[in-house]
Chains A and B, each alone.
Chain A
Amino acid sequence: MKILVCISNVPDTTSKINFTADNTAFDTNGVQFVINPNDEFGLTRAMWMKEKQGAAVHVVTVGGPGVEPTMRKALAIGADEAIRVDATPTDGLFVARQLAEVVKSGGYDLVIAGRESIDYNGGMVPGMLAAMLGMNFVNTCIGLEVDGTSAKAVREIDGGKETLETSLPLVIGGQKGLVEESDLRIPNMRGIMMARQKKLTVVPAAEATQGTADKTFDKPAPKGQVKLVDPANIGELVELLHKEAKVI
């Protein structure tokens, strides 16, 4: 089995989000970048398949040279090889087209991507990719077992979960549940050393169009002061929620 794990390079979850002075771009000044958390769960599931089922695991990122430290981290966690598509990831459709080319030329059976990137919250690349390639697709995937060419996947739905039967070739949009938080691995020294020797191939971008363009950005209005209610007078809270906030 050949697995491709799609990794997006995103601001650390603790980042303060600012935009450039003219509000046309995300200001990356002082921001730390990490493997998108949803992708980290997928990568860890792929590691299990490598160890238990002998799968080959490659990772791919569409991005400029600046994403390479994040890709090296994925190699240090245990991926065998990395591919970087040399292009600025401008929108979902564009990124999916780039990934489609990588999947086709690499002959992957299973593509593990994340439910969404925590930066632009698109939640679209894996589904678009599946549609472009005519592959099966399971989104918000919280469990995945592959046996030969058949697969069983569990998907989170509103208010519960659903078990699906499908087959390879398959794309998933994964999240926590694929593996547990405690299964995530911090790269050790040996992994980091080995990652330096591993192959990181840079491929040029394919011709592709964009479906969307983020023109400007703005930030939420600053929050007013919290209204404190005395714990000895909880009736007041009920009153406020009813009369002032009108939510009960």
Chain B
Amino acid sequence: MSVLVYTETENGSFKKNAWEVASYGAQLAKAMGTDAVAVAVNAADASPLGKYGIARVLQVSEPRLETFNARAVASLLEQAAAHTGARVVVVSSSADAKFAAPLLAGALQAGYAPNVVGLPDSTQPLVVRRTVFSNKGFAHTELQGERAIIGVSNNAFGMVEAEGAATAEAFTPEFGEGTFATKAVSVDKATDKIAIADADIVVSGGRGLKGPENWGMVEELAEVLGAATACSKPVSDMGWRPHSEHVGQTGKPVASNLYIAIGISGAIQHLAGVNASKVKVVINNDPEAPFFKAADYGVVGDAFEVVPELIEKLKDFKAQNA
């Protein structure tokens, strides 16, 4: 009757979202009066999970999982759930987790609640609050049936530190025929850039920046802040920036601590995708731009003057606080 937590790794190290789901799983297990068991694939050292309340880790070593494979991960989680008698499986909101979780749900015939923003309203029945309608609302969703999957929203729950160390035990799942039939042949990932999904701060530019040649200051601002860069939909549609930077209802969702919108009007579809960010700053020369109604801080001014000035002030700030 335990809680199973899928803690993601990359090149042998845990991703930041692993600490978040570990914290969530441990707190959930406490509320349910049971233990949280983590599953880690090819982790060099699983003991740090103890710091987030995990006592037991099923450690899978599998060379074929050096690159992520959704079907294999779904299969090993299914086997781990059977092994531990788990009632609930907790996963993150990463692209990989959102790839594997529905496969697991289909195999287990389990209900799956994605984008969950906090611990359950109740554990019997199990009811969770999750975002729906692209952050325009929340649903309180009951997870029925014997097994359930909870997908925790990025950056919504945070990390809860606890005492203790995790003990790891080897877990060797068996993979049926066809498990690796879909396989990654190449990965194209900018290693020098911060991914929007992982970023604490996102700096985003819109059509107000006039053209791709003006993105230098956006990138510089992002660099000073250690932020990811993003853009509005028309900016990616016009090819000023890559599609992977398009955020909003039909692009990537953003749930960062800080979102800075430069020359973005704040159309409903844009806001729907970025509203989950905790603090929003808007820089726009039109005081009537709808984004000001959704923002915490605003500067009514010309981006071409405000942004360079902001970069300077941030550099001063960093120098003083270094």
Residues on A lying within 8 angstroms of B by beta carbon are 11, 13-14, 16-17, 19, 26, 37-38, 91-93, 96, 118-132, 134, 136-140, 142, 155-167, 175-177, 180-182, 209-220, 223-224, 226-231, 234-235, 237-238, 240-242, 245, 247-248
Contacts and interface: CB of A to CB of B under 8 A. Distances in A.
B70 A137 contact: yes
B294 to A, nearest CB: 6
Interface string B294-308: 111111111001100
State the majority secondary structure of interface residues on A: mixed
Nearest to B234: A181
B293 interface: yes
A211 B112 contact: yes
Given A160-B188, A164-B182, A247-B279, A211 B148 contact: yes
B17 to A, nearest CB: 9
B187 A160 contact: yes
Contact of B102 (A118, A126, A216): A126
Interface in B138-171: 138-145, 148
B30 interface: no
B185 A164 contact: yes
A158 B94 contact: yes
Contacts of B131: 121
Contacts of B269: 13-14
A117 to B, nearest CB: 10
Given A13-B268, A217-B140, A245 B182 contact: no
A121 B189 contact: no
A231 B137 contact: no
A125 B144 CA distance: 17
Contacts of A176: 243, 246, 250-251
11 contacts: A11-B133, A121-B131, A140-B98, A155-B95, A158-B196, A160-B188, A163-B188, A176-B246, A210-B144, A229-B297, A238-B314
B183 to A, nearest CB: 6
A231 B299 contact: yes
Contact of A14 (B101, B127, B132, B268): B268
B184 interface: yes
B310 A37 contact: no
Nearest to A210: B144
B209 interface: no
Contacts of B189: 157, 159-162
Given A164-B183, A212-B113, A241-B297, A124 B141 contact: no
A217 B99 contact: no
A118 B244 CA distance: 18
Given A17-B136, A226-B298, A228-B299, A163 B105 contact: no
State the majority secondary structure of interface residues on B: mixed
Contacts of B138: 217-220
A127 B102 contact: yes
Contacts of A122: 112, 114
Contacts of B106: 93, 96, 127-132
Contacts of B99: 127, 137, 139-140, 155
A11 B269 CA distance: 12
Nearest to A167: B181
A220 B112 contact: no
* Most A CB within 10 A of own CB, among B104, B144, B275: B144
A126 B70 CA distance: 13
Given A137-B71, A248-B258, A229 B109 contact: no
B193 interface: yes
B95 A140 contact: yes
Contacts of B201: 247-248
A121 B140 contact: no
Contacts of B60: none
* Most B CB within 10 A of own CB, among A16, A119, A247: A247
The 9 A-B pairs at the shortest CB distance, nearest first, are namely A127-B102, A211-B111, A131-B106, A159-B195, A160-B189, A231-B301, A128-B106, A166-B182, A212-B111
Given A209-B145, A229-B299, A237 B268 contact: no
Contacts of B178: 134
Contact of B109 (A17, A93, A155, A157): A93
B14 to A, nearest CB: 15
B102 A125 contact: yes
A163 B184 contact: yes
B45 interface: no
A181 B139 CA distance: 31
A42 to B, nearest CB: 13
Given A134-B178, A158-B95, A226-B297, A238 B139 contact: no
